[in-house]
Amino acid sequence: MMAPATLSQSRRTRRTPFSPRVEAAGVKSYTVYNHMLLATVFESVEADYTHLKQHVQIWDVGCERQVSIQGPDAARLVQLMTVRDIGGMIEGQCFYAPLVDTDGGMINDPVGLKLADDHYWLSLADSDVLLWARGLATGLGLDVATHEPDVWPLAIQGPKSDDLMAQVFGESVRDIRFFRFERLSFNNHPFVIARSGWSKQGGFEIYVDREDLALELWDALWEAGQPFEIRPGCPNHIERIEGGLLSYGNDMTRAHNPLECGLDRYCHVDRPIEALGRDAVAKVMAEGTRRLVRGLKIDGGPVPPTTDEWSVQVNGKHVGGVTSSAYSPDLASTVAFAMMDKGFWDVGLAVKVVLPDGTMRDGSVSDLPFI
């Protein structure tokens, strides 16, 4: 088992404007994401999960840092970084975008926001994309300004999200469509509000760009959320595996191409886009992938945290690796993501999984998402 050590905090483990409320709510555990604190547990992962699926939660996801790309060459730089065709994006649209290098390796999987024809935000997963963006802009002599703005997303997630948000931002918040954003006011400041978030329970993300209003906004949402049994929360490990949400750094890295990560539908390499990864991804698409991310159900009750890849075997032969796993109370099974070798990713295939203590568990390959 992992030692119950604490996290040493310093300026490098950056806080967010909401950190005082997260602490007051009794956060039990943190991880570090984009060099910033991200809560992982409040009551318990299981209790947080059950509550998220029934009520509404407020999440400090300030660690979802933005890379702002602005200027005459902004669209060109964004398109160089992603194999998703951004040509048809309109202002007010969010787009999930695999960022891919010249080898086809995954650099990040942000949510992009088109703020204006010459202004984009990339709302990052956990890797240093600003360095990559600035390197490209410098090397190619692009006419763009890139920086990490003072913007801290605050997520409202769960089935009662619409009712809560309507109390604070007005009824029009209900009309925001999935992966679209509007600017709605709180305290006379228009905040970018998107219908998005890292759960499958529905909800919104508020891109908080006023540090001085952050706690006031949290408190207003908290007050209005009382009848809805609001609780503080965070991206939930069980819920995100059930929902098939891959975590960059855990389930995919630069060693994987987007097709291996099951992101085919965001790879428009048959179009004349200028993406750096276009040729590499087109080649894999033509030849077929050697690996594919799959669901895996593992028998025999809860398992320890997946801090190393667990070998998946068939007849004693290594055929894949488990990258994340959690016991799902609702499915009464351990559910996992596994990167499976070609020939071993058919749904229903019976496998063995080697746990860290060397014990073997029976498992079977499953489609994603689980729910």
Instruction: Write out the residues near ligand THG by the rule CB under 6 A.
Output: 64, 96, 109-111, 123-125, 153, 179, 196-198, 205, 245
The smaller minimum CB distance to ligand THG, of residues 18 and 344, is found at 18
CA trace torsion 130, 131, 132, 136 (10° rounding) = 100
Helix (H, G, I), strand (E, B) or coil at 361: strand
Q: Which residues pair with 181 in a beta bridge?
A: 194
- Pick 73 or 251: Cβ nearer ligand THG: 251
Contact 189, 151 (CB under 8 A): no
Residue 319 CA to its chain's centroid (Å):
27
Residue of 70, 78, 63, 68 whose CA lies nearest to 125: 63
In this structure, which amino acid lies at residue 231?
R
Minimum CB–partner distance for residue 69 and ligand THG (Å): 15
Smaller CB separation from ligand THG, 19 or 247: 247
Q: Shortest approach of ligand THG to residue 3 CB, angstroms?
A: 28
Provide the sign of the torsion angle of the four alpha carbons 91, 210, 66, 196, taken in this order: negative
Select 244 or 363, whichever has its Cβ closest to ligand THG: 244
Buried b (16+ CB within 10 A) or exposed e, 145-159: ebeeeebbbbbbbbe
Cβ of residue 22: shortest distance to ligand THG, in angstroms? 18
Q: Closest CB to ligand THG among 180 and 352?
A: 180
CB of 217 to ligand THG, least distance (A): 16
* SS3 call for 217: helix
Q: Which is nearer to ligand THG, 178 or 350 (CB)?
A: 178
Min dist. Cβ of residue 159 to ligand THG (A) = 16
- Phi then psi for 51, rounded to 5 degrees? -65, -45
State the nearest-atom distance from the C-beta of 362 to ligand THG, in Å: 29
